[in-house]
Chain A
């Protein structure tokens, strides 16, 4: 089954996005509802950038996704029960306002050993309060070291098969790196939770000045810089700024470097093969991150089906 993450702050499907959903008979959308961040001054958690619906997501099963920053759970002052109640209430407000009915909620958090206990307690509380099915995103290291990181009390996990490396000025790929992935793949069979798989279809450019990362340019690829005299394609994935200029709201200084990171068709097929070889069971579904007209135009329309068919 194919599903997509919707990660923008205003829900409005572009024609090409609608088409890809139709073509692939997508029934389920995982929509980022809001982030939860920590206000250090007031010592309180607060919802950030909540979604607004410019159109109603009818015809889809909606799974609200809440991204909780790890630093929220690092706080000793955190009132976990209160946060679980507020989170559930905020999701209900959004659902009511936009006439959405949901059966499942997903929690996304890159928890660490120091935040683990708070996070697990939160999941327990939230499950009781929401009375819904719960899913949680799982990072590769949480699969391999699950005895230490523990397993959240959810109905299913979603393995995030991306964000593998550091965003750095070196030549490595931060979205997908097969060498890194392989270190974790063999642990998949032992993981006790049923899993869905999330695969990346996004691309970005790492903006580097004086060998230091100074920013990320989202939703970009080499085509955006082609035939622009201010930029020179240095080699496959690297672009050099030859003349200082503004472009799409970013200032590029002469000498800056852009490292382009994208996921090719072959990368996706390779990921599917590697995962298939190592998973104990067929995954519940494949969720692509993220639905956006810029991302999907980079792939042939039947690729999503081809990738899913490998499992």
Chain B
């Protein structure tokens, strides 16, 4: 694996600190995508993009995880700068090649061409593409030649399995070469090139054994140097050197300057800022020469520590500071993070009280004060934040005033408009403690917007998932407390709802009625169970209860679902249970669910009439066996309401009990046994009964399994017992053909008969 070695990282932060915190985050198991689901407040709405990685995140940096742009961060800016300098001397594509691709051979060749004024293969290659005769092109190439010398040290690639390369990275040792760069700086008149050589002297020194040379040069020349990105890149190098020398106060002070003035280095400076002791921090503050510099220190410090204090301090001295914006979003997202979003069995009043209690009063007071003052650069951001905090704090009316203020002044981007609408909706719904036909009208439009329209609109960065879940929980809790079980179920599905016959019937009546109110219609639109599902659920339950005419009647009301075909033949019974093998067997007739039930009915009628009792009973045994978990027709019991699963433990308790119960199959196998006319038939019945007994044994043995105590499954090494069916088969039917088939196919039986 190749890795890029970056000296400034070694200088800039403590790997140990990150390691420890990294472990904790990893244990938390959180990812940012998960966090969006707990938040209503998108920091992107009003805050400048350069702060984005610093938004509150469970990862090291929001949106990007780690900063990985160490060698690419300035590519675009560099290209743009050189394009301005070179004009049309070098086309954009070729400029990109020279600046960011493997161009060192070309640069070397062209340097030789300029030096010896002799045509070579590189001058031939480039003469028609770039203006080789222009002095600016020459300046560019010669400069690039020098830059590429230092790139060998600044962007080293090494094999991570090469110990030497890791413990002893190459460092530039030739001070004379650095001095030659200084001479070029002094000799260059063009301000653009001069600035580039200025930076090159400092960068080269940084990657050398004599970084102090660059530091001295920086402080001697900084006064005459434009305060552009290159200046702040150079300043960041100085901050790194100070850190290495354990001058933490100075290092942090310099990083705060970089953070303040150079948006593209905000991530780097925030990552590297790292006071050791309180006195370092105080000294850094004392170094600040102006309120602006002081605000910058608080701004970068607030990222790591206490955004509330940072906001208060910055607001006192620089209320228009842009840094306040990102700190405010961290404060809000942090408050949201403290809220327990689950409703459990709580009423909305209990939920609201818990929310109110969990958010910080001092944070609310600070934000309200600043919002009221109207002194910040983006008062609408403060109004939105204040409104949201008022909602959480239970001051619904005041929240409305804040949202009104924000809306009148804010930029009308679709994110901003949607953000405020979302928070207004949260506020509006929070007003309702008892839902009735009057107040439900106030939320209808927004509910449709939230559940139906927003998912299709894809408004970038808008965090609406939390409001979706929260509002459903909220409405469900309201309806539950008002004893409206059906509406409560529509907004939050309760898996055991249909286990209750009364509730089931109430839901059927509700779903069938035509005159639903607007909110009922919304409830139905977000509910993923319909009448077909319920009829199907009832058909399955009736089948397992052996009420086949009833099952047929329900199944007939399942529209297309009744025509779903089984994968295997549900009337076949095999020695081995292997539902994939049985699905693969060629089948002349494919049974649908309704065909299956109708056939059951015919077979049961035949038995009542005394016709072919053995065959009909055996086939019924197979059929009832196959629709359990152990058979080839699981598709029959897997429904929207029962659930789906590879394992019986994927189903809730009553459903698991139903689908693992083979007693109905056993009953028919026993009935078949009674009607047998020869020993082959008897042998078969005893074996089929043994399969049912085996399944009963597994059901009891693994009854206690849950994911939590999978370690505790008794490993008694008992895979099978001498079931009654086995005993009978062994004792009385060893001369049958079927017996031999069982010996050949069933290892358990074979082991059993070989035991003495």
Contact A42 B304 (CB under 8 A): no
Name the interface residues of A115-146: CB closer than 8 Å to any CB of B. 141, 145
Name the interface residues of A81-110: CB closer than 8 Å to any CB of B. 86, 89-90, 93-94, 97
Instruction: Produce 1/0 per residue, A205-246, CB < 8 A to B.
Output: 000001001111010000000000010000000000000111
Contact A214 B24 (CB under 8 A): yes
- Bound together, the chains give a CA A42 to CA B167 distance in angstroms of 22
Task: Kindly report which residue of chain B lies nearest to residue A243, judged by CB atoms.
Answer: B278
Contact B711 A148 (CB under 8 A): yes
Contact A244 B280 (CB under 8 A): no
A90: B residues at CB distance < 8 A: 161, 163
- Bound together, the chains give a CA A103 to CA B230 distance in angstroms of 54
Interface residues in B, total, Cβ within 8 A: 33
Closest chain B CB from A257 CB (angstroms): 15
Task: Kindly report which residue of chain A lies nearest to residue B360, judged by CB atoms.
Answer: A210
**B715 CB–A CB distance under 8 Å:** yes
Chain B interface, DSSP helix/strand/loop, else mixed = helix
Contact B711 A145 (CB under 8 A): yes
Contact B1 A253 (CB under 8 A): no
With A141-B711, A218-B20, A246-B276 already in contact, the answer to whether A94 and B163 are too (CB < 8 A) is yes
**A248 CB–B CB distance under 8 Å:** yes
A94: B residues at CB distance < 8 A: 163
**B160 CB–A CB distance under 8 Å:** yes
With A39-B1, A148-B711 already in contact, the answer to whether A86 and B20 are too (CB < 8 A) is no
Contact B711 A89 (CB under 8 A): no
Interface residues in A, total, Cβ within 8 A: 35
A251: B residues at CB distance < 8 A: 275, 304-305
**A249 CB–B CB distance under 8 Å:** yes
**B27 CB–A CB distance under 8 Å:** yes
With A141-B711, A145-B711, A215-B21 already in contact, the answer to whether A246 and B277 are too (CB < 8 A) is yes
Closest chain B CB from A186 CB (angstroms): 16
With A93-B163, A253-B305, A253-B306 already in contact, the answer to whether A248 and B277 are too (CB < 8 A) is yes
Instruction: Produce 1/0 per residue, B7-33, CB < 8 A to A.
Output: 000000011110111011001000000
Q: Which of A43-51, A276-284, A289-297 contacts B (4 or more CB under 8 A)?
A: A43-51
Contact A46 B278 (CB under 8 A): no
- Bound together, the chains give a CA A210 to CA B162 distance in angstroms of 44
Contact with B163, one of A44, A50, A244 (Cβ below 8 angstroms)? A50
Contact B20 A215 (CB under 8 A): yes
B711: A residues at CB distance < 8 A: 141, 145, 148
Contact A245 B160 (CB under 8 A): no
- Bound together, the chains give a CA A52 to CA B305 distance in angstroms of 33
- Bound together, the chains give a CA A145 to CA B309 distance in angstroms of 51
**A247 CB–B CB distance under 8 Å:** yes
**A58 CB–B CB distance under 8 Å:** no
Contact B27 A167 (CB under 8 A): yes
Contact B24 A216 (CB under 8 A): yes
B338: A residues at CB distance < 8 A: 210
Chain A interface residues (CB < 8 Å from chain B): 39, 42, 44, 46-47, 49-50, 52, 86, 89-90, 93-94, 97, 141, 145, 147-148, 167, 210, 213-216, 218, 230, 244-251, 253
* Subset of 17 A-B contacts with CB under 8 Å: A39-B1, A42-B1, A47-B161, A49-B15, A49-B19, A50-B166, A89-B161, A97-B167, A145-B711, A147-B715, A167-B24, A215-B20, A215-B24, A244-B309, A247-B277, A249-B14, A251-B275
Chain B interface residues (CB < 8 Å from chain A): 1, 3, 14-17, 19-21, 23-24, 27, 160-164, 166-167, 274-278, 280-281, 304-306, 309, 338, 711, 715
